């Protein structure tokens, strides 16, 4: 009887797991390009499925979760300025009662770094929230590590 109950429980878990869908409408890619021996640019590219969007880094308080980047401190480099983004599209979001900047299809964020030695790895994470016309997914955080050579 114990084995039967265990088998039934495992079957139930397996059946539930098969029917649940994990929605991941945003794919991230990370890379770097050296500008010269002392500087590099980190590229953080989001590719979004049709109908989905993420928000700008510049969203007022009370709005949706903005895209944000954190970089792990290192003695090998320093950040130069803030993370740059292209000009976002803007729309009025009734649920937040405000205009918000967003990106769809594809967006590339850039962070310039000053190198203290020729080769290093820049580590960090991006936090973002993806939405479509009918839903917003919970915020997600994606860690990254970019080698600069």
Residue 45 within any structural domain of the chain: yes
The CATH number given to whatever domain includes residue 47 is: 2.60.40.1250
| Rounded distance between C-alpha atoms, residue 15 and residue 143, angstroms | 31
Flag whether pLDDT at 131 surpasses 90.
yes
Residue 37 in any domain: the answer is yes
Tell me the per-residue pLDDT of 76-124, one tens digit each, with 9 for 90 and over: 999 999 999 999 999 998 888 999 999 999 999 999 999 998 899 999 9
Instruction: Output the CA torsion 51→86→140→111 (10° steps).
Output: 160
pLDDT grade for 7, boundaries at 50, 70 and 90: very low
Structural domain includes residue 5: no
Say if 48 falls within a structural domain: yes
Percentage helix, strand, coil for the chain under 3-state DSSP, each rounded to 5: 10, 55, 35
- Residue 120 belongs to some domain of the structure: yes
Q: Is the pLDDT of residue 16 over 50?
A: no
| Mean pLDDT of the 12-37 span | 76
Residue 8 forms part of a structural domain:
no
Provide the domain limits for residue 51: 25-148
Buried b (16+ CB within 10 A) or exposed e, 89-106: eeeebeeeeeebbbbbee
Handedness of CA 47, 53, 55, 56 (dihedral sign): positive
The answer on pLDDT for 3 being more than 70 is no
What pLDDT does residue 95 have?
82
What's the mean pLDDT in 55-78? 96
Paired strand residues for 34 = 40
Q: Which residue has the higher pLDDT, 143 or 8?
A: 143
Into how many domains does the chain fold?
1
pLDDT score at 135: 93
Quick check: is 10 in a domain?
Answer: no
Q: Is residue 17 part of a domain?
A: no
Length of the chain: 149
Sheet strand arrangement including 68-71:
68-71, 120-128, 140-148
């Amino acid at each position: 009887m114990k084995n039967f109950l265990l088998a039934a429980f495992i079957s139930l878990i397996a059946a539930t797991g098969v029917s649940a869908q994990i929605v991941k409408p945003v794919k991230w890619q990370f890379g770097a390009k050296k500008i010269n021996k002392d500087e590099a640019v980190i590229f953080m590219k989001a590719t979004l499925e049709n109908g989905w969007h993420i928000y700008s880094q510049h969203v007022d308080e009370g709005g949706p979760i903005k895209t944000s980047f954190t970089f792990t401190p290192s003695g090998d480099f320093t950040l130069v300025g803030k993370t740059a983004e292209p000009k976002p599209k803007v729309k009025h979001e009734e649920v937040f009662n405000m205009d918000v900047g967003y990106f769809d299809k594809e967006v590339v964020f850039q962070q310039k770094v000053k190198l203290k030695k020729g080769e290093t790895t820049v580590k960090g994470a991006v936090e973002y929230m993806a939405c479509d016309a009918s839903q917003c997914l919970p915020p997600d955080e994606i860690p990254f590590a970019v080698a600069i050579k």
